[in-house]
Amino acid sequence: MANKAELNRRVERVGIGVSPGVVTGPVFLLTTDGDRYVERSISEAEVPREVARFEDALIATRRQLHEVQRQVGEAIGRENASIFDAHLLVVDDRSLVDEVVRGLSSYKKNVETVLHIVSERYVQALLRVEDDYLRERAADIRDVTRRIMRNLSGVSSSALATLSQPCVLVAKDLPPSEAATIDKTKVLAFATDVGSPTSHTAIMARALNIPAIVGLHDISVRVSRGDPVLIDGGKGVLIVHPSEDDLESYGKVEASRRSLQSSLDELRDEPAETLDGYHVHLSSNIELPTDVDQVVASGASGIGLYRTEYLFLSRKELPSEDEQAAVYEQVARRMAPAHVIIRTLDLGGDKFLSLVKMPQEMNPFMGWRAIRFCLAQPEIFKTQLRAVLRASHLGNLKLMYPMISSLDEVLKANLLLDECKDELRAQNIPFDEEMDVGIMIEIPSAALTAHLLAPHVDFFSLGTNDLVQYTLAVDRVNERIAYLYQPTHPAIVRLIKNAIDVGHQHGIWTGACGEMAGNPLMVPLLIGLGVDEISVSASVVPLVKRVIRRLRYSEAEQLADTVLALESAHEITEKCRELVQRLTPELLELLA
């Protein structure tokens, strides 16, 4: 039998911090009772009764989700409540519902068993997809299924309703519909075995401002109810039975975080300008129109990347030209006079199977996608181009083609764009005749032939994620070779430098987006290499602005000159770190 010392042994685990903050409290273990059911056989005569039970449970689930959505909308805004649209789509998905009903007769099992079989089939199919957005929809299906199961069993509420004292919630998984109804006076923070920074649960944690860690693997079976734990939601650290030194150390971290956050908030209306007067256009990336509010609140001066493919996902039909034009115009009006760069569809492979018959590919990310797909499907592409042109009459839209690998692709895309302009002119539909058109430099061939591409476009945008991935032949989600994913590899630095220099020689500007642009350590290097615009997620804008405003452009230029003479990614990273350490050591400490 374990002695008291063993039971109180300090244990530290590191997961993925998805919502910052340091808190301590006793563990409350949340079990997923909705996953438990008794399998039993039924006769054909019992099928109608099981169908009726299923329909009643669907009605109850739909009613509950609408109520959750209403409560969330009132508490933290409609944009956060909109994530439950995906849950309601699952409840109303006729293909899933009909498959369960048919399964009752074919399996001759009770509805709980059939629902589990059918929903897991959907879940596993989504989990095999390489796209993060679609993989996260698997969690939505499981969340809705768990709620339907609970309604089938007659259980109307979760264990969270019984909380009486403040605690740290620990669970294998925390469905977003559970996270959305958390009482912040009772739940100080939460930690889960599974999850990712892009999950709806993570989004809810940030919206509620509750410290949270996901991806802790087996924490739910490593702690007991009542265990004292410390959570650092920024660094992703969870400590069971923290020591006095832990409490003191992390207490200082939290005080520093709050002080830094307060100072960052004060930068909202300040320009992204270096100490010696060099202005950097600091923009933000968005996926949905509802993201614009966060962009405005962050202090960004525009939208440098609008990923339009998310308008096409989770739909049964393609969005019409009118619908697209209305959405693009909505974003443009909200951001005016700041510019909005609309990236044309980066769809294909595993992102488009439900709408268009796509070939099975061994490596869809190097396959029939993005500009390749669009040029092969001109009607889909032209519908989007016309929609963008129609919205461009406001004067602040720019257009950008993704995944360009050759001049031929640029010429073909521009030809289709010219056709769309002629069609709109013939219909007397106004648009911006001078709308800028750019390309993403994310394939090495584009970076190396930038001099051929520049005369035919108005700007470049460095897609650093794919540029690193394709240049170094590294799948960045493959854990075995993740160490080879090096944004500061000398080859990457030289490709970036070449693209920027060529752009400037041809009188066009170059922006940068992706993880490299959003890493405060890399910002001085990008500026020193000559980047004109940096576009990052809204949450990172204040951090990047802090670095820019502490920096001298002359220091950035000197860093770039030094880095171009170095031979390894490690040396380059350390030079970047040394500069940021000197500029803003408190920021570097929190990023550690």
Are both 137 and 163 inside the same structural domain? no
Domain membership flag for residue 381? yes
More confident call, 525 vs 140:
525
Which pTM does this prediction carry?
Answer: 0.69
In a domain, residue 580? The reply is no
162 and 195, same domain (yes or no): yes
Q: How confident is the model at residue 82 (pLDDT cuts 50, 70, 90)?
A: low
Residue 118: pLDDT band (50, 70, 90) is very high
The SS3 call for residue 373 is helix
Return d(Cα 271, Cα 275) in angstroms, integer.
Answer: 11
The band of 415, judged by pLDDT with boundaries at 50, 70 and 90, is very high
Please check whether residue 507 lies inside any domain of the structure.
Answer: yes
Task: Looking at the structure, tell me whether residues 115 and 57 fall in a common domain.
Answer: yes
Evaluate whether 134 touches 18 at the Cβ level (below 8 Å): no
Question: Of 229, 262, 295, which residue constitutes the final position of a domain?
Answer: 262
The yes-or-no answer on residue 420 being catalytic is no
Q: Which has the higher per-residue pLDDT, 29 or 300?
A: 300
Averaged pLDDT score across all residues of the chain:
86
Last-in-domain residue among 124, 153, 182: 153
Query: Would you say residue 319 has pLDDT above 70?
Result: yes
Q: Is the pLDDT of residue 3 over 50?
A: no
Is 127 part of a structural domain of the chain? yes
Residues 204, 93 within the same domain: no
pLDDT of res. 142: 84
3-state secondary structure of 386: helix
Dist CA 160 CA 179 (whole Å)? 10
Report residue 400: phi and psi, to 5°.
-145, 135
Secondary structure (3-state) at 458: coil
Say yes or no: 111 and 142 in one domain: yes
Residue 147 has pLDDT above 80, yes or no: yes
The yes-or-no verdict on residue 477 having pLDDT over 90 is no
Q: Give the separation between CA 219 and CA 196, rounded to whole angstroms.
A: 15
Query: Are 399 and 506 part of one and the same domain?
Result: yes
Total of domains in the chain:
3
User: In the prediction, which pLDDT does 135 show?
Assistant: 67
Q: For residue 176, what pLDDT band results from cuts at 50, 70 and 90?
A: confident
Tell me, yes or no, whether 149 and 226 share the same domain. Answer: no
Strands 237-240 and 167-171, bridge-based pairing: unpaired
The answer to whether residue 583 is domain-embedded is: no
Specify whether 335 is located in the same domain as 453. Answer: yes
Phi, psi torsion values for 401, nearest 5 degrees: -95, 135
Residues contacting 327, CB < 8 A, separation 6+: 289, 311, 319
- The verdict on 337 and 226 lying in the same domain is no
Task: State the CATH number of the domain containing residue 194.
Answer: 3.50.30.10
- Say what the pLDDT of residue 76 is: 58
Residue 268 in domain: no
Longest dimension (CA), the chain: 85
CATH of the domain at 111: 1.10.274.10
Lowest mean pLDDT among 92-106, 290-304, 339-353, 515-529: 339-353
Does residue 519 share a domain with residue 426? yes
CA separation for the pair 210, 201 (Å, rounded): 11
- Cβ count within 10 A of residue 364: 20
Mean pLDDT lowest among 43-47, 86-90, 364-368: 364-368
Residues 164 and 179 in one domain: yes
Question: Nearest 5°: CA angle at 375, between 374 and 379?
Answer: 70
For the ranges 36-40, 220-224, 363-367, 392-396, the lowest mean pLDDT is seen at 363-367
Assign 3-class secondary structure to 93-111: CHHHHHHHHHHHHHHCECH
Q: How many CB atoms lie within 10 A of CB 398?
A: 23
* Residue among 120, 121, 116 at smallest CA distance from 36: 116
Which residue among the candidates 167, 374, 513, 576 is catalytic per the annotation?
513
Residue 578 is assigned to a structural domain of this protein = no
Is 200 an active-site residue?
yes
Percent of the chain with pLDDT over 70: 87
Residue 519: inside a domain: yes
Tell me what the mean pLDDT of segment 143-150 comes to: 86
Which of the residues 87, 200, 281, 489 is marked catalytic?
200
DSSP helix/strand/coil, 31: coil
CATH number for the domain harbouring residue 488: 3.20.20.60
Residues 535 and 393 in one domain: yes
Choose the weakest-confidence range: 29-38, 82-91, 203-212.
Answer: 29-38
Range of the domain at 171: 4-33+158-262
State which of 153, 175, 193 marks the end of a domain: 153
